Amino acid sequence: MMISKGCDDPQLRDVDTEFREVLTSMLPMVRASVVSRRRFFHSRSTTLRGGIRVLEDPDLPEHGFFRPGRRFDVIARYANGYGTDDIAPAVRGLTLRLVENARTTDGLLDLPLNTGECFYVPTADAFRRAQHDGPERDDLLRRNPHYRDVIWRSVRRPTSFTTYRYYSQAPTCFVDTAGALSFARYRVLPGPGQGGSQDRSAVSPAGMWMPPHPPNTLSRDPDDRRPRSYLHDDLRYRVLTAPVQGLLQVQLHPGEDGDAALDATRPWPERWRDLAEFSLDRLMDDELVEPLRFSPATAPPELGIALARSPHENASLNHLRALVYHLASSARIT
C-alpha cells in the first residue's frame, strides 16, 4: 500500500486517466474559491488556539509521533459545512492542526473532522456522481441505500460548536515504531462540563432523500429567532469566559483488511481509545487563519493517507480531498 509522505509527496499526482477526469470535474469548486477568495466548504469560521497533550499512558502501540506526554500547540477551526445561517441544520466541522509551538502555524498534522461517524460515499468516483442530480446519482443511491442514512447522521441542529462530536470519517494510516500498519479514525468529544449529547441535535429527513446540494441549504425553523451567527457568537463568548476543552480519541483497525477497511461509509467495530486532551484559550484573528492550507495529507509519513491510482479504490476519497484542497487553496491564496 502506498502512503503519502506529506502535501508535497509526488505520489499524490501519480493517478490514472479516470482519476484525472474526476479531478477535472471538481474544478467548479476551485473556480468558486478563486471568485470568492474563500473556501468552498466550511468557508466562514471561528478559530481558537491552545495546547494539546498526548496522554501519559495511551492505550496504543508505540508510535513515533504520538509519544506519551508529548505536547503540541493546536489550532482549532470551527465552521458549518456550507451556508451562512448557523440556525439552519447543517454538517458542522472542526479542523485540528497540530503545530510545533506557539511561534508557528505550520502544520505537523491536520485532522479534518465533521459531525457524523462516517462519510456518505466511499470513493472519488462515487463523490463525483453524488454531486449533481441526475441518472448517475440516482443509480448510485439505488445501489447503495445506506448512503442516505450516513449523510443524514452528519446533519445537526444548532446547539453549540463545543457540544458536537466530530469524526475524521475517512480512514488514514497509522504505522507504529515496529512498522506494523493499522488504519485509523479520529474523533473529538466535548470536554468536562461542556455537554455533548447529540440527541438534541439530530435531524429527521422528513421524507427528503438527501440534503440539498450547495449552494442550496436546509431551511431554519421559522420560529427560531436566534441570529444567523449564533454558533460563532456562542463559541467566541465561551472561549472568552473559560477554555474550551476536548478529548481526542483514535480507533485502530487491522491493516491487513486493505481496501475494505478504507470504506468511509462503514463504521468499524473496534473500540475508541483515549489519545490526547486539548484546551483552547484564545481566539485567532481571521487574517491569520485565511492563508492556512489545511489538508488531510498534512501528516508525518507514519500517519499519512493511503493513496490510490484509480478513482474506484476506497483510498481515492482522501486522495481526492488532498488534491482538491491543494488546487483550491492555491487558487484562493495566489
How do residues 80-98 score in pLDDT, each as one tens digit?
Answer: 988 889 999 999 999 999 9
pLDDT at 39: 61
Angle (CA) 317-321-326 rounded to 5° is 155
Residue 70 lies in a domain: yes
What contacts 138, CB < 8 A, 6 or more positions away? none
Residue 95 lies in a domain: yes
pLDDT at 153: 94
Residue 246 lies in a domain: yes
Distance CA 136, CA 214 (A): 18
Structure letter (DSSP) for residue 312? T
> DSSP letters of 106-134?
-EEEEEEEESSSS-S-SSHHHHHHHTSSS
Distance CA 195, CA 197 (A): 6
Q: Confirm if 112 and 170 have CB atoms less than 8 A apart.
A: no
Number of continuous H segments (helices) and E segments (strands) in the chain: 8, 10
pLDDT at 33: 65
Residue 80 lies in a domain: yes
Domain total in the chain: 1
Residue 1 lies in a domain: no
Kindly give the parts of the chain with pLDDT less than 50: none
Strands 90-99 and 107-114: antiparallel
Residue 292 lies in a domain: yes
Residue 5 lies in a domain: no
How do residues 297-324 score in pLDDT, each as one tens digit?
Answer: 999 999 999 999 999 999 999 999 999 9
What contacts 186, CB < 8 A, 6 or more positions away? 111, 113, 167, 168, 248, 249, 250, 251, 275
Q: How many residues does the chain have?
A: 334
Residue 3 lies in a domain: no
Distance CA 229, CA 220 (A): 13
- What's the CATH number where 176 sits? 2.40.180.10
Q: Confirm if 124 and 19 have CB atoms less than 8 A apart.
A: yes
pLDDT at 43: 73
Alpha helices by DSSP H, 223-315: 230-241, 286-289
User: 317 is in which domain, residue-wise?
Assistant: 10-333
pTM given for the model: 0.94
pLDDT at 304: 98
Q: Confirm if 220 and 87 have CB atoms less than 8 A apart.
A: yes
